[in-house]
Amino acid sequence: MSTENIDQAIGAVGAHEGFYATNPQNINQKIENENYGTNHDIEREADKIEREVLFEQFINNMSPINRPDINMRDRILNSFHENQMYLRIIQKQK
Ligand SMILES: [Zn+2]
């Protein structure tokens, strides 16, 4: 996936960071990890939102004639999420 300009890259990172600011449960989990040694995955949802923003930008950057329809977008996006989950499982097993 790619961004076409710096504003789009900043937008995706902003969405990632903004997730923390608007999600009290995630904030609590971060505090628990830092203070009680728990191992909550505080990145997963933020990464998911970041991928969604990047994907949306990627689609918007395509010429209209090449843009996948909404059903195809959902399928592509779901496969991104599934692949990411798969990568995380592999990483945890190492
Ligand atoms: Zn993060």
pLDDT on residue 19: 92
Expressed in angstroms and rounded, the spacing between residue 82 Cα and the centre of ligand 1 is 19
pLDDT in tens, the chain (94 residues): 556 778 888 888 899 999 998 999 999 999 999 999 999 999 999 988 988 888 888 888 899 998 999 999 899 888 888 887 666 666 665 5
Expressed in angstroms and rounded, the spacing between residue 72 Cα and the centre of ligand 1 is 28
Expressed in angstroms and rounded, the spacing between residue 50 Cα and the centre of ligand 1 is 9
pTM of the model: 0.74
DSSP codes joined into one string, 40-92: ---SHHHHHHHHHHHHHHHHHHS-GGGPPPHHHHHHHHHHHHHHHHHHHHHHH
